[in-house]
Amino acid sequence: MSEARKIFPMDTFVAYLKGDGSANVAEMLGYLTQKDLDADSVPFAAALAKAWIYEQHPELTKMSKGQVVELGQSVSVAPMPVKAKTEVDEVFAKLADYKGQINAKAAKVEELTKALAAKDAEIAALTAKVKEFEGQKKGEAEALFVTTEARIVEFTGKLEALLKEVEEVKKTGVVVAGVAGVAAAAGAAAPAAESAGAPAEVSAGSDFGFSGGSQDPFADSNW
């Protein structure tokens, strides 16, 4: 349990009421609200405590900064009563809940951000691999195209040479066939000539198998 009252310089009290920032103001607000305040909770504590002070001393709302300073060199401050502090506790509980939700969401965002960064790195690595693969395949395709083109040129040359040979064979085949035909015709004519000349020789000097040669066969007395 804190002490019943605490003395603060009047400058701190005036700075708090008139809105001038001071480290001592945060200390005084912590004492008034009986809370450990951070930078996020100080504005809420300041509003709640100021409302309570003005409720207890409404004359302060009408006084200027100089008039408040003239009240003395220091001010004795007591913690807020139980009823007022209960309201403060409720507000700070809600603030703590909201802050917890915000922190959880911030942690989730940080987690997702890291996951996204990891995915981006993975995508970048995959993209680099794809580009490398595309470059490799492009080089292989170009090499294959050059090789294929060379083979086509080679095969085309061979085909043209083969066609020339075929043409030469066709021409040579026709000439040989003509010579063979002439030779065959000459060979067939020789036997025919021999068979045709034989009757001529018989008619010229043969007796057809009769004896006597040039004698008259009908002169024989036996006829």
The last residue of one of the domains, among 36, 62, 80, is: 80
CA-wise closest residue to 47 among 84, 100, 2, 78: 84
pLDDT in tens, 29-63: 999 999 888 888 888 998 999 999 998 889 988 88
Where are the strands (E) in 50-176, listed by range?
A: 74-77
Q: Is residue 162 part of a domain?
A: yes
pLDDT at 105: 93
Give the tokens for residue 216: 């008259």
pLDDT at 215: 57
pLDDT at 94: 92
Question: Are residues 74 and 144 located together in one domain of the fold?
Answer: no
Q: Is residue 138 part of a domain?
A: yes
Q: Is 17 helix (H, G, I), strand (E, B) or coil?
A: helix
pLDDT in tens, 144-170: 777 777 888 887 888 888 888 888 888
> What confidence category does residue 193 fall into, taking pLDDT thresholds of 50, 70 and 90?
very low
Helix axes 10-17, 23-33, angle to 10 degrees: 80
Residue type, 62: K
Nearest-angstrom CA–CA distance, 33 and 107: 30
Q: Which domain holds residue 60?
A: 1-80
CA-wise closest residue to 34 among 70, 81, 98, 102: 81
Please tell me the total count of domains within the chain. 2
In this structure, are residues 52 and 84 in contact, taking their beta carbons and an 8 Å threshold?
yes
In this structure, are residues 54 and 60 in contact, taking their beta carbons and an 8 Å threshold?
yes
Q: Is residue 144 part of a domain?
A: yes
Question: Are residues 43 and 53 located together in one domain of the fold?
Answer: yes
- CB within 8 A of 88, min separation 6: which ones? 33, 35, 45, 48, 80
Question: Are residues 145 and 63 located together in one domain of the fold?
Answer: no
Question: Are residues 63 and 130 located together in one domain of the fold?
Answer: no
Question: Are residues 95 and 141 located together in one domain of the fold?
Answer: yes
Q: Is residue 197 part of a domain?
A: no
Nearest-angstrom CA–CA distance, 101 and 97: 6
9 phi, psi to nearest 5 deg: -60, 145
In this structure, are residues 28 and 16 in contact, taking their beta carbons and an 8 Å threshold?
yes
Task: Name which residue leads in pLDDT, 39 or 182.
Answer: 39
pTM of the entire predicted model: 0.47
Per the listing, tokens 């024989």 go with 220
Measured CA to CA in angstroms, residue 221 lies from 209, 212, 217 at distances of 20, 15, 10
